[in-house]
Structure 1
């Protein structure tokens, strides 16, 4: 027994804290490589958007830092296309999508996780089945449905198909399932209704996951290009991603304006993620329930 205890004390424990310096250095090197591959295109676009007309961006040895930094490219984008009107249209679509997912996915996820009703497993299986189909398979039927509802060429028609994402429903269902059943049973004994249990027990414990689906819904709605391109015909209703195609068609010889338009489209995502990042990482690691 004593020899066995000594072997257990001398055995190397598992975990990140026992990683050797060489392994830790390799991990950080890989992380830096992934960071460089991920962030470099955005930094290059930012650098290109700040370069003046006198700089050659097609030179064999391009300079990363602008030699003649200027914000004139952003002003030129605003003069060329109604970029702020397009951004407002994208914001309206994103607001509808985020609101629909925050409310609809929460209610559907809670019902699947905590309420008992006939056909719950069948409904959950149907939700999972929709995730297997790519979006291009259903895009024709979506357009026919939107047109039959009289919502073609409207911002509501753009936002409606993404107002409730099946993936977000499943994420919220998983978050609600992590709440101990004893808490719901105690609330039922105290006479709490389903709405009261949702408001006072469910929502306080899934705020992290709610921020996750909010970020996913906003990014998906803001970056979507194919669906708005199909639904919208009037240029006044264009979203930002669709409106930026005019820069690519008219000023194909001036990548500075295209880069500036890309950065204008990218900055709202950075702002939203920066505002919700602490809730995002809490939602990713969610599992611990407050007493």
Structure 2
């Protein structure tokens, strides 16, 4: 089935729901994109407050000698667990606990300013890396690039992200696109054209200095150098984006005619309920937070097997 970038479709749906045709638009596409990002984060907060099994993202921190503070992706809301994740068995084999509030210089890690993690030397000496699983804030980062000339060489593990997208902004923050989906279309095409999706990749690492994203799985061996169109999507899924468009349209309608919000509010509630039902079926054998000190404890007992 012919397809257009999800971000483009999201803007069109906002205009449809808000009765805001593009030919006589009061709101620019850029303004709608920024509102989509804002309401995406708000919807994620609403869902996380009631979800037993929220969507999580896993990020690997590779240690460097004598370095104790490392940048996390810029959209971390809550850290769920830190340790070693075995990709072969898809199981966590080791856990690291946060530092005790009663011994801040002790063994463990600290989550700093929603953007950094500090790991003490004993942990860095014991492991070469740690995996951090976290709940994202829900921040939407619109990005679409048409007809980008991509040089595919022997390196089949990375993909260049153009610094001049056709829609959205190029994010220069460290690890900005980690955990997002890189969706490649079937070839170059002008804006407004429809495509066929040929492959989705998970961005597992991102170098903001070179603009190259490490992806999984590897780039297929039969892909050749040429012009490609692609977009970067959140991992939240299609239902989430549908609910965000309704929420954004409801906001725009409410600015001028609050009475028109009623039907949109009902559809928004149905869309949000669909997400909640989907997430409720997910399995998560761990709690949403670490076992850790409270104001009622004076020491950390820990769990068997925890570092």
TM-score (norm 1): 0.24
Relative to its length, the structure with more strand (as a share) is 2
TM-score (norm 2): 0.23
Larger radius of gyration: 1
Relative to its length, the structure with more helix (as a share) is 1
